[in-house]
Structure 1
Amino acid sequence: MTDFSLIETLRYEPEAGFIRLRLHLARLVRSARRLGISGADGAQAALLAAVKAGDGGAALRVRLELFPDGHIEVKTAPFAPLPQDTVWRVRVASTRLKSGDPLLRYKTSRRAAYEAARGEFGPSEADEVLLLNEKDEVCEGTITSVFLDDGSGILKTPPIACGLLAGVLRTELICQRRARVARLSLNDLARGDLYLGNSLRGLIRVNLLV
């Protein structure tokens, strides 16, 4: 039995329901199958039950956790979107990810590297923190995927092989051909407009402080 759980964090809107639900469920089922965790087939019912039991008339942040023994816990909290003109201050962590670690492509409760990176800067210093791997390749934020607009008309996002999560927003943009994978360095990020994003909040404009 594994010593970690699988996590999906979704956005629920009263009119639209769960945003990107199909992609979230597909990732959870795929991850559970590959890691030998049972119970993923009960995720959708658990999500619907949690919303029904809470305030289904308001936007929610919904966190689902699938534990190694197959049981599921769902927690909800009110969700307020960021203003459209939000620009996050982002700094680069000295903490490094290991590109050869296969678990990085899954969203799990193993968060030590991300917590260490986030802990390098206080809330007044950075809204999010960017992680590189041992080759100094750009990977991801602590809770976000990386997207670079270099003026080509298609966003660039680092490949999974660099050591990063297969984010749901990232997957959607690649499938829509609005993004493609490309290895990125910090120098590359200075040659265009940088965005971070996840399925909960969408794309967020970034001011990279180095």
Structure 2
Amino acid sequence: MTTRSAAPQGRRIWVDGRLVPWADATVHVLSHSHQRGSLIFDYMSVHETPRGPAVFRLDDHVRRFLASAELVGLPLRRDAAAIRAAVLDAVRANPGATAVKLSGYLASVEVDVVPVDDHVTLAVAAYDPVQDVLRPKGVEARPFLPVRVWVEKERRNRRPDIMPPQAKVAANYASPMAAKWAARRRGYGEVLLVDDQGFVAEGPTTNVFLVDREGTLRTPPEEKVLLGVTRASILELARAEGRKVVEEKFRPEAFRDAAEAFITGTSAGVWAIASVDDHPLPEAPGPVSRALGERFARVVSGRDPAFEHWLAYVGEARD
């Protein structure tokens, strides 16, 4: 299906210090970022709270963005404070935004894999993915109901010896995209990838947890997965509630003995898994998934004083 939609009215994107209209935030088709997949990015959420809109864990996202630049080798000549200020400027300029996409890319037209012009453009888009992207294409947002998951059998997860999975770089998403697209055609809502040793790693844009029969929350270790900000938040919330948490390797067969399972991500929060490879989980959502999901929802909406420090209030935050 091919669709062309009108640019969202009033949306402006922060590009290298200027706020430009949505439709004008363009890059040449022969740019290095397009042709080599060198764009780095981060994605964060904006929530309405009693104190106005707030960006969730802004500083953590900025640190991860800078880590991606270092892992890829992009000479991003901006520090954390400048990037933080750019995000806040973009959110203030776009009322009603619920998400922020932060991008760093080589906009110049290049011939070689190593660019002659190594200027890294910084762009910040603050917008509403449903209102500004999906609905103009005739697509309505779907609720995050328990999801059928397929474990990919052919393609492996991003390998550290090629490009670290911790790097949020466009090229790292080609293989997971192909795997998820194929799974979608077969009726699955999400796909999980395994690492080069056959252990469960993560989804294309999500991390995964299972709860075993003893109530222990288990998730793959950091070495071979993206360091998800939501993942880190759920781990901290679970430990704060006194739950037993283990970061360890496990194989796909572990889901057959699990009491419940869920995936986490910026868009989904805590998303219960209904089945893995057509094997149903006993409960979806189970009590742990439900409790952590509800606690997380309170945190991001500014209704949990213990974790209010995770919120950068747009109207109050320092630039």
What is the TM-score of this pair, normalised by structure 2? 0.57
- Paired position in structure 1 for 2:217: 155
Q: Which amino acid letter does the alignment assign opposite residue 8 of structure 1?
A: D
In the alignment, the residues of structure 2 paired with residue 6 and residue 152 of structure 1 have an alpha-carbon distance, to the nearest angstrom, of 40
Taking the TM superposition and a 5 Å limit, the aligned residue runs for 1:2-13 are 4-13=38-47
Residue 222 (structure 2) pairs with residue 185 (structure 1): no
In the alignment, the residues of structure 2 paired with residue 123 and residue 61 of structure 1 have an alpha-carbon distance, to the nearest angstrom, of 27
- Paired position in structure 1 for 2:93: 53
CA shift for structure 1 position 46: 1.9
- Paired position in structure 1 for 2:231: 170
Considering only aligned residues, what root-mean-square deviation do their CA atoms show, in Å? 2.7
| Offset from partner CA, 1:128-185 (integer Å, 9 cap, x none) | 1111123211000111001111154542111133x32111112223345364311011
- Paired position in structure 2 for 1:200: 267
In the alignment, the residues of structure 2 paired with residue 98 and residue 32 of structure 1 have an alpha-carbon distance, to the nearest angstrom, of 17
Residue 103 (structure 2) pairs with residue 65 (structure 1): yes
Moved more, 124-133 or 29-38: 29-38
Q: Which amino acid letter does the alignment assign opposite residue 61 of structure 2?
A: H
Stretches of structure 1 that go unaligned for 5 or more consecutive residues are none
Question: SS of the counterpart of 1:103?
Answer: coil
Residue 128 (structure 2) pairs with residue 78 (structure 1): yes
Moved more, 18-27 or 176-185: 176-185
In the alignment, the residues of structure 2 paired with residue 36 and residue 154 of structure 1 have an alpha-carbon distance, to the nearest angstrom, of 38
Question: SS of the counterpart of 1:22?
Answer: helix
| Offset from partner CA, 1:71-98 (integer Å, 9 cap, x none) | 21122332569757x2112112221125
In the alignment, the residues of structure 2 paired with residue 131 and residue 123 of structure 1 have an alpha-carbon distance, to the nearest angstrom, of 17
Question: In the alignment, is the contact (CA less than 8 A) between 1:65 and 1:72 conserved in 2?
Answer: yes
In the alignment, the residues of structure 2 paired with residue 152 and residue 199 of structure 1 have an alpha-carbon distance, to the nearest angstrom, of 28
What is the TM-score of this pair, normalised by structure 1? 0.84
CA shift for structure 1 position 18: 0.5
- Paired position in structure 1 for 2:156: 96
| Offset from partner CA, 1:34-91 (integer Å, 9 cap, x none) | 5443235332122112212212xx351221112253321122332569757x211211
Answer 1 or 2: which has greater strand percent: 1
Question: In the alignment, is the contact (CA less than 8 A) between 2:72 and 2:167 conserved in 1?
Answer: no
Question: In the alignment, is the contact (CA less than 8 A) between 1:14 and 1:59 conserved in 2?
Answer: no
Q: Which amino acid letter does the alignment assign opposite residue 165 of structure 1?
A: L
CA shift for structure 1 position 189: 1.6
Question: SS of the counterpart of 2:234?
Answer: helix
Structure 1 runs, 4 residues or longer, greater than 6 Å off: none
Q: Which amino acid letter does the alignment assign opposite residue 86 of structure 2?
A: A
Question: In the alignment, is the contact (CA less than 8 A) between 2:72 and 2:169 conserved in 1?
Answer: no
Describe the shift of the 1:143–1:62 C-alpha distance in structure 2 as closer, same or farther (beyond 3 A).
Answer: same
Q: Which amino acid letter does the alignment assign opposite residue 45 of structure 1?
A: A
| Offset from partner CA, 1:9-48 (integer Å, 9 cap, x none) | 1110132510121221222233334544323533212211
Q: Which amino acid letter does the alignment assign opposite residue 93 of structure 1?
A: E
Describe the shift of the 1:152–1:40 C-alpha distance in structure 2 as closer, same or farther (beyond 3 A).
Answer: farther
Q: Which amino acid letter does the alignment assign opposite residue 97 of structure 1?
A: N
Stretches of structure 2 that go unaligned for 5 or more consecutive residues are 1-31, 107-118, 131-140, 278-319
Moved more, 131-140 or 164-173: 164-173
Question: In the alignment, is the contact (CA less than 8 A) between 1:40 and 1:66 conserved in 2?
Answer: no
Pair member with larger Rg:
2
Describe the shift of the 1:186–1:90 C-alpha distance in structure 2 as closer, same or farther (beyond 3 A).
Answer: same
Of all paired residues, the percent bearing the same amino acid is 25
In the alignment, the residues of structure 1 paired with residue 185 and residue 100 of structure 2 have an alpha-carbon distance, to the nearest angstrom, of 23
In the alignment, the residues of structure 2 paired with residue 23 and residue 82 of structure 1 have an alpha-carbon distance, to the nearest angstrom, of 28
Question: SS of the counterpart of 2:165?
Answer: helix
Answer 1 or 2: which has greater helix percent: 2
Question: SS of the counterpart of 1:104?
Answer: coil
Residue 181 (structure 2) pairs with residue 119 (structure 1): yes
CA shift for structure 1 position 199: 2.7
